Amino acid sequence: MDVLWKAGSVTLSGMFELWAAIPVGFMLQLPPVLIGIFSAVGAIISAGAVIFVGGSLRNWLLKRVEKRSKRQGRMWQIWDKYGVVGLGLASPLLTGAPLGAAIGISLGAPTKKLMLWMSVGIIIWSALLTAGVAFGLLQFMVPETK
């Protein structure tokens, strides 16, 4: 039961922010593999919810994004240069999965393609961030040998 509560906490944290879910998992002392899996699942769920519910939200976001940026900023540059693939790979790290999905929807990205590349980006970044934290913690836990 304790593992289910911990896994649920990491998944819920991942739904809001991938960056938050990984430290939560380590604080709850889950194994790194489970942290990576549950944080990625949470981020994928939130991105999927935004992507598949976002059709009606698209017009509102388009008006808001166009008023603010006129095709400026980092996400516009990524979109212009790399399209859906670049947005899906970069946004989990730069903006978070839900906001990245909302940006993709507002830019008119095809939902299936956006979901695929957002999921790939989330999986890559959760694996890299989890491994980075795990190896960083190992540095402090393993005593130096002389």
20 close to 92: Cβ distance less than 8 angstroms: no
Q: What is the structure's pLDDT at 44? A: 95
What letter would DSSP give residue 144? P
Retrieve residue 40's tokens.
């990625």
- φ/ψ (deg, to 5) at 72: -120, 170
Residue 143 corresponds to which tokens in the numbers above? 């005593």
Residues in the chain where the model's pLDDT stays below 70: 1, 55-73, 75, 138, 140-146
Cα separation, 133 vs 126, whole angstroms: 11
pLDDT of residue 62: 62
For residue 67, the SS3 value is: helix
pLDDT at 135: 86
pLDDT for res 121: 96
Q: Residue 112: which residues within 8 A CB-CB, separation 6 or more? A: none
pLDDT of residue 78: 77
Whether 102 contacts 91, CB under 8 Å: no
Conformational region of residue 110, where left means phi above 0, alpha means psi within -120 to 50, and beta covers everything else? beta
Predicted pLDDT at 119: 96
pLDDT digits (tens, 9 = 90+) for 35-70: 999 999 999 999 999 888 876 666 666 666 655 555
